[in-house]
Amino acid sequence: MGMEKTRYIFKFYYIGSKKYHGSQRQPDYLTVEECLLSALKERKYIIDDKKSGFEVASRTDKYVSARGSSFSFESEKKPILMEINTALPKNIGIWGYSEVPRDFFSRYNALFRHYKYIIPYSIVFRKNMTSSNLNEMIKACKVFEGRHDFSNFSKQEKDNEKTIRDIILASLRLNGDFLIFDFKSRAFLRQQIRKMVAKIFEIGLEIITFEQFLDLFNPSRTYSYQPADPLGLILWDINYGNNIQFTVDAKSIERMNKFFLQQEIKFSTKHKLFSLMQRNNISEKSL
């Protein structure tokens, strides 16, 4: 008989790039999830991924990054985060963990997911943005809050897909030279945030009127358009309430911040993104 297994939940970050074809496992493609599993198997935390109950809380598309994503699995070994991190590429890292009940799943037990979308306003507006433009964008963003049919703000993957979602928070603010969006919901549809952001941009650029924007909430009409660039999207946090207290590993945080600092210097256009992601305190007040 083997040792008794314990189920754990982990917090991790990753930087979306052309190297990874999104976060979710795909045949014949390198993904973030595949890298995690490979490291866990190499360090003998997982022998059989199916028997371990390994699952990731959220999936993201190619080029999307994460600051506080999560995954869970069962293992006989107590986690030593740096042991796992040394088997991972530097643009992926685990920084916290907690024991959870055997019937806990990081995906289904999440209370809400928090995404940020960050972009220099000069990329959106070729000329100076007026306060009137910004106020219209903020006003439109607040309309997303509450329960709505988001069929025109998503990429539907199957027929009869349920497209009604409850948005806890939808906000926009100007922070220095950057537009920063915050979105919170228990679950989002495919490309939902990027499509919502794309239409907010069109409001600010006066491509569509506020009335035309409101018409997008009418599911009887169908609109086709491109989502916003995935590079600005960050899965900032997945919240589980006060029942789970994560143990944060100082060396893993140091490894993460060192990588972010190197990237901040290397990629000046992502300066704000990496500066924000370096902060250990992810409270709304600090951002």
The residues assigned a catalytic role are 61
Burial class of residue 192 (count of CB atoms within 10 Å of its CB; 0-12, 13-18, 19+): buried
CA dist., res. 134 & res. 21, Å (int): 34
Read off the amino acid at residue 68. Answer: G
| Assigned token pair, 195 | 């499509």
DSSP string of 63-110, one letter each residue: T-EEEEEEEEEEESSPP-HHHHHTTS-TTEEEEEEEEE-TT--TTTT-
Task: Quickly tell me which residue has 């106020």 as its tokens.
Answer: 135
> How far apart (Å, rounded) are the C-alpha atoms in residues 86 and 229?
31
Torsion of CA 250, 252, 253, 257, to 10 degrees: 140
Beta carbons of 167 and 187 less than 8 angstroms apart: no
